């Protein structure tokens, strides 16, 4: 989504993959931009690899979205999650520093850094990470801040709350819910197993959030920003809306499965994105019900394309 947005702004895009020769890059193909992105083989956790591609391309802007990005999976793969999250951020800022470049750096952080929020979190809210994923993101945040303060880099982090698109894999619960409801509507199954529905999240739309990422690098001075809708909803309400989209009653089809609960889960994760509106002029246009509708539209479009291609 970010690459597509930057291409619309007239950027030349260089992207990285651990092995560009073996990658499928299905999402780039779905977006119709694969031929417009130059790819390089880079391991974000390997300093020499990162240094080499930055020295070769001399980028004006660098967007670091690399890491193991599933909170749930981070409990099963804590070391890999921490390494991919911390090292990717460090290797980028240290490479720019050592090469003495003026590249502007965006680092993708997460609302998970805050942990449970008793009140809407803003940029001054203390961190309380509650998963290996969140610990890694918090460490990456402070790594970027330290290089910015110590070496004068234009480097900032976006503390993004939940943001969805049809390009999410189904291990992410929002896509799982929408795809599961679609399967039930198509009579492929009659049940969907879900874990904890009592949690509350700020649900936003990813194509809007990538606009905020680019805006952060257009400011006069580097700053960190919370990016969110400012509205919090329970996962149960998300499920209800998703099943309503397909004309279904969720209570007739959803089974609760405690085995799907995380070892630690955040009860509430709420946000105050006022700074982004004040300084960037950015605010969310799509809220939870809009996100569900857009995910449903995307799911149906994806299935139609699959059928047409088969």
Q: Do residues 39 and 86 touch, judged by C-beta distance below 8 A?
A: no
Residue 238: both structure tokens together:
């998300």
Put residue 100 in one of left, alpha, beta given phi > 0 → left and psi -120 to 50 → alpha: left
Q: ∠ at Cα 166 (137, 310), nearest 5°?
A: 135
Q: Any residues with CB less than 8 A from the CB of 129 and at least 6 apart, and which?
A: 112, 113, 115, 135, 137, 138
* Parallel/antiparallel/unpaired status of strands 200-201 and 155-160: unpaired
Whole-angstrom distance, CA of residue 133 vs CA of residue 131:
5
Q: For helices 288-309 and 235-245, give the axis angle rounded to 10 degrees.
A: 50
Whole-angstrom distance, CA of residue 76 vs CA of residue 99:
36
Give the catalytic positions in this structure.
110, 112, 133
Distance, first Cα to last Cα, the chain: 26
Q: Is 126 exposed, middle or buried (0-12, 13-18, 19+ CB in 10 A)?
A: exposed
């Amino acid at each position: 989504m970010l690459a597509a947005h930057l291409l619309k702004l007239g950027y030349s895009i260089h992207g990285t993959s651990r092995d560009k020769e073996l990658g499928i890059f299905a999402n780039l193909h779905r977006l119709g931009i694969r031929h417009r992105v130059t790819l390089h083989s880079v391991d974000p956790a390997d300093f020499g690899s990162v240094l080499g591609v930055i020295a070769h391309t001399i980028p004006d802007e660098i967007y670091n979205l690399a890491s193991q990005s599933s909170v749930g999976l981070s409990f099963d793969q804590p070391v890999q999650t921490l390494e991919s999250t911390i090292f990717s951020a460090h290797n980028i800022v240290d490479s720019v520093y050592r090469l003495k470049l003026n590249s502007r750096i965006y680092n993708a952080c997460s609302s998970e850094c805050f942990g449970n929020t008793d009140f809407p979190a803003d940029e001054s809210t203390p961190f309380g990470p509650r998963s290996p994923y969140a610990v890694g993101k918090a460490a990456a945040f402070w790594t970027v801040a330290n290089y910015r303060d110590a070496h004068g880099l234009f480097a900032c982090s976006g503390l993004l709350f939940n943001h969805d698109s049809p390009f999410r894999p189904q291990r992410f619960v929002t896509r799982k819910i929408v795809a599961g409801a679609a399967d039930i509507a198509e009579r492929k199954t009659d049940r969907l197993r879900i874990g904890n529905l009592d949690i509350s999240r700020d649900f936003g739309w990813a194509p809007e959030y990538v606009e905020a990422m680019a805006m952060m690098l257009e400011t006069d001075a580097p700053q960190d920003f919370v990016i969110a809708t400012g509205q919090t909803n329970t996962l149960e309400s998300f499920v209800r809306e998703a099943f309503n989209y397909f004309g279904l009653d969720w209570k007739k089809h959803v089974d609760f499965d405690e085995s799907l609960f995380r070892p630690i889960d955040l009860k509430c994760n709420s946000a105050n994105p006022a700074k982004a509106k004040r300084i960037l002029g950015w605010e969310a246009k799509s809220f939870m019900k809009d996100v569900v509708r857009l995910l449903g539209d995307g799911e149906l479009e994806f299935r139609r394309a699959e059928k047409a291609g088969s």
